[in-house]
Structure 1
Amino acid sequence: MQIVKKWGLLFLLFIYCAGCSSQQVFSDKPERQTKHASQQSAEDFLPKDIHVLALGDSLTEGVGDRQGRGGYVGRLQQRLKQHKGVRTVSVVNLGKRGLQLNQLDAVVHQHVAQIKRADLILMTIGGNDIMKVVRSHFFNLSYELFAKEQKRFAERLDHLLATIHAANPDATIVLVGLYNPFSSSLPNIPEINKVIDQWNNGSNQVLKHYDCTIFVNVKDLFDNRDDMLYSDEFHPNEIGYEQIARRVYDKLKKHEEMWLRRSKQ
């Protein structure tokens, strides 16, 4: 009988100790999870300082913006400032009218420090490369000429992206595609829309070889919209730049984990 009582007391003691251990285990686990969740939440929503570097041609410079608001880059900056994950937005704009892709290499090499600091690198390039084909072969333009030049353009773009990515693999690179302002000025090339599509698709394919890249197609915005062009019938006006900025911002919102995830403080 004493043996039974003894084992009974040991059994109760075991149950009591086990209960204490269980209670300790279950009470600790939620506490650690809650703490981790709160840290993650704070990190996700803490506003960040975003450094933007704009590279490219006259569209980056903002030529044709009669309001003087910096083209699509200036308008995009204002939109980014309103984003919930952004505290401040600083912009370095290196856009230059008339720039072709092969001239952009020199700009990149001269501004490595700005590239290393950038969270977002915006680019517009290619319009002057197409115009070079037009000026060189105006009286014998053909789809084949544009297709041949597009392949060279894609090779140069790949080299440029490799250079930028080597300097700053964490920066998000945004390339704004080409639109067609030539519908009235190049009636002898009925395939010009097909040419623009080919160049855009080729650039998009090059970007897919690299992490942290976004291609923004704006061609549809300008189709049959002469009211969005400047008086030179080539550059966007303030309406056109507003539409480009909106399209770029919409793309950035869809990929905010890319450009907000490791922005430099």
Structure 2
Amino acid sequence: MVALGVYFGFNHFYPETVQQKTQQVTKKKQPAKKSQINLVALGDSLTQGVGDQNKAGGYVGMIKHSLVDKDHVQVKTANYGVAGDTSTQIDHRLQSQAAIQTSLKKADVIVMTVGGNDLMGVVKKDMLDTNEKDIQVAQKSYTAHLTTLLGHVRQYNAKAPIFLYSIYNPFYVYFPKMTKMQDAVVSWNTTSQQVLQQSQPSHFVNICNLMSKSSVLTKPSKDSSGGSSSGSDKKNPLISTEDNFHPNVTGYRKMTQKLYTSMQQNQKEWLEK
């Protein structure tokens, strides 16, 4: 009772002192944030933005706008995406082009797309009857090549977080029973994720299910005989109709949302001073 009376008495005569101390304890100091960041994108056609009908650079241009609008930070981007590049070709450009090296040194964020062309080099020979042994051999080589590529990236920047997109199966909607292809994509992504874990800080942005299985079933048109017209009724609303392979502008928006979410979850790695 005596202790309780002393507490309330102190609080009565010195209310501001108690309140101030409480605020000091509960109020956390907000970390200082950068006013501008450098985002470097390195990779293949997905980084280049192939399939984007707006010709705005795919996810690279979109993530810039998202960060500027939502995080109120100025963003300088450098896009080093080249359609058709494999992991070894991306690595060759990195080692031979001073512009890429300079950009990486200044990067606060590094975003990459790699691996799709490595896999397609194996399966495109006979997509419906892919040899599992060939895939395993290619996957082993890809593991070594990706390890080398990420190692070279880290030579120029050891601190910036790397956000690596997964690959996806653009043919899933049209050939859902082609399980070898889907299994190969999933296995390829597992390899990428495992290799990426060796280059911290890093984050795997998985878009496999999003881009592979986002399908709608359109109503088949009727021909003059009353039967369905020829052609596939299934379409993936996130894939370009020009090549049925790359994302369209909607697909890139979905990819960007995935990237933005991952970046927000790890904001302290790239935005805090």
* Shared fold per TM-score greater than 0.5: yes
Partner of 2:84: 98
CA separation of 1:220/1:140 partners in 2, compared to 1, >3 Å: closer, same or farther?
closer
Aligned-residue identity in percent: 32
How many residues are paired up?
228
Alignment of 1:137-176 (within 5 A): 137=126, 141-176=130-165
| Unmatched tracts of structure 2, length 5 or more | 1-16, 216-235
Q: Distance in 2 between matches of 1:182 and 1:63?
A: 17
Alignment of 1:1-265 (within 5 A): 40-41=29-30, 44-84=31-71, 86-109=72-95, 110=97, 111-137=100-126, 141-183=130-172, 189-222=178-211, 223-225=213-215, 226-231=236-241, 232-262=243-273
CA separation of 1:256/1:208 partners in 2, compared to 1, >3 Å: closer, same or farther?
same
Paired amino acid for 1:236: P
Cα RMSD of the aligned pairs, angstroms, is 2.5
Structure 1 contact 142–189 (Cα < 8 Å) conserved: no
CA-to-partner distance for each residue in 1:160-214, whole Å, 9 max, x for gaps? 1111112111111111001111226667842221111111111111111121111
Paired amino acid for 2:240: Y
Q: CA deviation at 1:147?
A: 2.3
Structure 1 contact 216–251 (Cα < 8 Å) conserved: yes
Q: Distance in 1 between matches of 2:162 and 2:130?
A: 33
Q: CA deviation at 1:137?
A: 5.0
After the TM superposition, list the runs of 4 or more consecutive aligned residues in structure 1 that deviate by more than 3 angstroms. 135-140, 184-189
Q: Distance in 1 between matches of 2:254 and 2:37?
A: 22
Q: CA deviation at 1:134?
A: 2.1
Q: Distance in 2 between matches of 1:254 and 1:184?
A: 31
| Unmatched tracts of structure 1, length 5 or more | 1-26
Paired amino acid for 2:130: L
CA separation of 1:214/1:244 partners in 2, compared to 1, >3 Å: closer, same or farther?
same
CA separation of 1:224/1:79 partners in 2, compared to 1, >3 Å: closer, same or farther?
closer
